[in-house]
Structure 1
Amino acid sequence: MLDWIFLFLTISLCLASRLLLSKLSNTSKKKQTLPPGPRYIPILSSILFLRRSLFDFEPILRSLHAKFGPVLTLRITSRPSIFIADRDLAHQALVQAGATFADRLTATEASRLLTSNRHNISSAPYGPLWRLLRRNLTAEILHPSRIKLFAPARRWVLDILVNNLKSKSETGDGVVVVMESFQYAMFCLLVFMCFGERLDEKTIRDIEAVQRHLLSSFVKFNVFAFLPKITKLVFRERWNSLLAIRQKQEEIFIPLIRARRDRKQQPGNGDGKNNSNRIFVYSYVDSLLGLQHPEDGGRKLSEGEIVSLCSEFLSGGTDTTATALQWILANLVKHQEIQAKLREEIEGVVGSEGEEIKEEDLQKMPYLKAVIMEGLRRHPPGHFVLPHTVREDVTLNGYLIPRGAAINFTVAEMGWDGKVWEQPMEFKPERFLAGGSGEGVDITGSREIKMMPFGVGRRICPGLGLAMLHLEYFVANLVREFEWKAVDGEAVDLSEKLEFTVVMKNPLRTRLVSRRKD
């Protein structure tokens, strides 16, 4: 408690100084005004932000947008935060003026530590380093030709997931809580894509544990966004905890990176096999080992920088996909008629006794795609994109968007816009079929924004294609394998809470009945 009082007083003095200086400075910016918003209460606003996440403010934001309009200003800190909830304005900013709005905020002390001073795709400033890292990921790992090479790994992970769910369904009362199984399966797949090896379960669990610890603690590290020299002293135990997490992460990741470097250098690996005749699968780490820093004399990336990029790769592709998978299957449990229609489509393509649904089969399943799209529209794993910023003052909708302001876009609200979607809070895959309001919708938002679960513009999620493939592949195979039934006496609860992603407040519990004989 004394720590918080000391921090409160320190912030009060600093903010008073800032306000005095701002009044003495020139007033040239008064020609344009910031978007409207509620009155800023300096100390109280900052303290509230220290203790809460952006998700907690979502109901408040809805009422503020209703009062002030689609663009509003909140002064959560001394730096204004702009919130944009209008699809057309989001398109103007992120697509039409994409380069202008493509930058990221200055990193906090905690973020600099965890990203090796902004050496990952999500936090790097818009410029040569960001272009290099993003181009490497999209061309070397996420290119469709590369993704096909990981098909055996997807089958391996599908077997892990199905066996895990079967085992749980055959014990106790037969009720399965599925989220942990989804997360572990997706994590196995991303670990393989990252390091190119089927690691043993203990190693995978160790990597998963440190990543989970990092994500679960991240909100606590917001405090270091304010007066870091002081907060690192006031909250020194918290800072030491962050240092320990990073050290543990490096202790696990760096030996894997070094082993990959050694194996890549063995003769024959360029042809897909090494001299022991083992298949060499090109991995994300392999692509990073040869990169040269465009802004630092052409040096290669350090081991710490590669650790940060691997951490981003694993986190970005695991919880988001597992979360979307849980939301979609929860709706299939809730709406048995949708599940039955999907199963009918699957059997029409692969037969009732078909084996694994292969990726080429997915192209013949329009209703499956509609189910996935509706899941992403109704339950986007993130309700906001990572904040953008601009390097120079710009104007949007007649308002000043100042240099360095945090610019936020309300992903969920755009997918729930009643002007575009009839009964937007209902789960109706048919809206994405011929004649529906979502027919032919451009999920990238390049033409217009109707939904943006992956963001849009220059900073759109590079893993969009991989995520769609994984969702289609696993949903189709899980519905082929099991009948997903409600637990007797329990209604499926679709209320939300924030973890790393926006997940079900009460995780999905279901009865699984195998559709096929072993």
Structure 2
Amino acid sequence: MTPNYPPSDQVSAAGTAATKAFLILLSLLVSIVLTITLKRKRAAASNLPPLPPSPPSWPVIGNLPEIIFHTKPMFRWVHDVMKDMNTDICLIRLPAGGPTIVPVLDPAIAREMLRKHDASFADRPASFGSHVISDGYLTTVMSPTCDDQWRKMRKVLTSEIVSPARHKWLHTKRVEESDNLVFYVHSRCISGKSVDLRIATQHYCGNVMRKMLFGRRYVENHFVPTSDGGPGPMEVKHVEALFTGLKYLYFSGVSDYLPWLRGWDVDGKEKIVREADKTIKALQNPIIDERIRQWRSGERKEIDDLIDVLVTLKDDVDRKPLLTPQEIKSQAAELMMAVIDNPSNAVEWTMAELINQPDLMAKAVEEIDRVVGKESRLVHESDFGSLHYVKACVREAFRLHPVYPFNVPHVSTCDTVVAGYLIPKGSHALLSRYGLGRNPEVWTDPLKFDPDRHLDGTGDHNSVVLAEHDLRFISFSTGRRGCVAAVLGTCMTTMLLARLLQCFTWAPLEDGKGVIDLAEAKDELFLATPLVAFPKPRLAPHLYPKTN
């Protein structure tokens, strides 16, 4: 059932210290009652398999104090605890009434969950962030249950948005943004300027999705494109809001652990989510409103982009519009969020690793030159099947440097036995991107960036794909809740890296003493400092796009 959130003005009025203290005390009383009830039920079913091993916890409130007040972010605390316990699965206790959290670091256990028991782990948590950004779960990825709305929107995605035919239809728009990426970097190059590769990679991803969705790179109607093809102020604002929304989508605050506190913004995270969502919708929704008006008035007659597709879809029975305006807006926001983070993070990390290891970069560049050449053209999507080492570099970045510590959570719909342990109904299963990719039982020298580990050594590298179906790491998840746009994500990531390597040589800033600092950010897995480097052209001048 979708929770009803208090209006924002009521939230603000209620957000006093006294109210928050009262809510916390009330939650503790509720927890005590529920804990006693659950213990009695557990005792009555003593013949059940054991629960996964747990770290020491507090009476009634479980591990909530460690999660909230630990000096490290939650994911680092969880992985430290599991390392100390020497376990690849554990159970983190929360106050009764909140979920139990089950992190998983072992690929075999992950496969058992998402293959053998896929139906039992098909739900998502009903978090504050997902509720706000999806406008009450009108979309696909964030929908808590596989209900009729989810099935409707997933069918739209698979048949109309990310189908092979649609992917081919949108090829020209992706090429335009690949060329604009080269134009942007080359413009800075010839001006003697460095390139912030975080900006370049994130805005390439934003540009590709905006072009496919809205038919335009810039969100403002009358914006004059920048001379170098770079983002304007509203595009910067758009991308920042998208990443903020992604950061606080799940397990961002106390209310995601204690659902009865949702709407009261005890720790201020809900305001951040609301502001990010407000920015995303303020920039996107006017474009969608205008497009709907154009179709309804008959002014627009040709389908040119994905918003046109969504607006013109008809119900099979009465031939009325299949999607409401709100569904179109919500799904457009989710599509933007779904493609912007994974490719950009993987390529920024890959470039940092390759700059620090010139011999590896030379192998990738040599492959591109051999497949594409240096005199006639730039990399095309049709080249990807032969760029084995380039894709191996990306696979290694997905393995070692995932964009987020955990995959989107799965919720157990019933008591389920996995790896001999009972996973209670309602548990939040967190497949650890961070732990799977660095599991020493699976990967030799797991902290080393080594693309060759993804090649088979026989000269036949057709198996180099960015998806990892055995869940030894997570690039695009699997199962009924798996990523439906893996082909698009693979295409964007490979093109982004290949164009950067083919068109330019790269050197670190002088103040870096020739070495890129590969430290991770404290509270997330991005590079702690955005990657900034100096590019130089390496191709004939006529190959660089002259306009953006």
Fold in common (TM above 0.5): yes
2:468/2:475 contact within 8 Å kept:
no
**Of 404, 408, 418, the match for 2:440:** 418
Residue equivalent to 1:187: 206
Return the offset for 1:26: 6.9
| Separation in 2, partners of 1:237, 1:81 | 23
Distance 1:187 1:441, change over 3 A: closer
Distance 1:66 1:515, change over 3 A: same
Q: Give the stretch that moved more between structures: 437-446 or 300-309.
A: 437-446
Q: Give the stretch that moved more between structures: 4-13 or 157-166.
A: 4-13
Residue equivalent to 2:136: 117
Residue equivalent to 1:138: 158
Distance 1:401 1:283, change over 3 A: same
2:482 maps to 1:460: yes
Residue equivalent to 2:473: 451
2:129/2:248 contact within 8 Å kept:
no
**Of 323, 326, 339, the match for 1:304:** 326
**Of 484, 490, 513, the match for 2:536:** 513
Residue equivalent to 1:35: 52
Tell me the TM-score normalised to structure 1 length: 0.85
Return the offset for 1:515: 0.8
Distance 1:83 1:285, change over 3 A: farther
| Separation in 2, partners of 1:493, 1:81 | 33
Residue equivalent to 1:277: none
Return the offset for 1:409: 1.1
* 1:93-492 mapped onto 2 (5 Å cutoff): 93-105=113-125, 107-124=126-143, 125-170=145-190, 174-199=193-218, 200=223, 201=232, 204-205=235-236, 207-215=238-246, 222-225=253-256, 232-233=263-264, 235=266, 239=270, 242-264=273-295, 274=302, 280-284=303-307, 286-287=309-310, 290=313, 300-435=322-457, 440=463, 444=467, 446=469, 448-488=470-510, 489-492=513-516
Deviations 1:78-111 (A, max 9, x none): 3211122221121111012222222222x13443
SS of the residue 1:314 aligns to: helix
Return the offset for 1:187: 0.5
1:414/1:451 contact within 8 Å kept:
yes
Return the offset for 1:283: 0.6
1:384/1:409 contact within 8 Å kept:
yes
Return the offset for 1:74: 0.6
2:75/2:405 contact within 8 Å kept:
no
| Separation in 1, partners of 2:464, 2:499 | 25
Distance 1:415 1:25, change over 3 A: closer
SS of the residue 2:343 aligns to: helix
Q: Which runs of 5+ in 1 are unaligned?
A: 275-279
SS of the residue 2:430 aligns to: strand
Q: Which runs of 5+ in 2 are unaligned?
A: 1-15, 224-231, 542-548
Tell me the TM-score normalised to structure 2 length: 0.81
Return the offset for 1:73: 0.5
Residue type of the alignment partner of 2:157: L
Distance 1:418 1:170, change over 3 A: same
| Separation in 2, partners of 1:436, 1:422 | 19
Q: Give the stretch that moved more between structures: 138-147 or 182-191.
A: 138-147
Return the offset for 1:303: 3.0
Aligned-residue CA RMSD (Å):
3.5
2:72 maps to 1:89: no
Distance 1:170 1:117, change over 3 A: same
Residue type of the alignment partner of 2:131: R
1:8/1:43 contact within 8 Å kept:
no
Distance 1:53 1:217, change over 3 A: farther
Return the offset for 1:128: 3.4
1:86/1:414 contact within 8 Å kept:
yes
Return the offset for 1:326: 0.4
| Separation in 2, partners of 1:135, 1:122 | 12
Distance 1:238 1:467, change over 3 A: closer
| Separation in 2, partners of 1:188, 1:364 | 26
1:260/1:286 contact within 8 Å kept:
no
| Separation in 2, partners of 1:216, 1:85 | 21
Return the offset for 1:292: 6.0
SS of the residue 2:533 aligns to: strand
How many residues are matched?
A: 503
2:93/2:101 contact within 8 Å kept:
yes
Q: Give the stretch that moved more between structures: 253-262 or 436-445.
A: 436-445
Distance 1:391 1:213, change over 3 A: closer
Deviations 1:86-143 (A, max 9, x none): 21121111012222222222x1344322212222222211243323322322222222
Return the offset for 1:331: 1.6
Residue equivalent to 2:76: 58
Distance 1:422 1:239, change over 3 A: closer
Deviations 1:138-163 (A, max 9, x none): 22222233222222222322233223
1:431/1:438 contact within 8 Å kept:
no
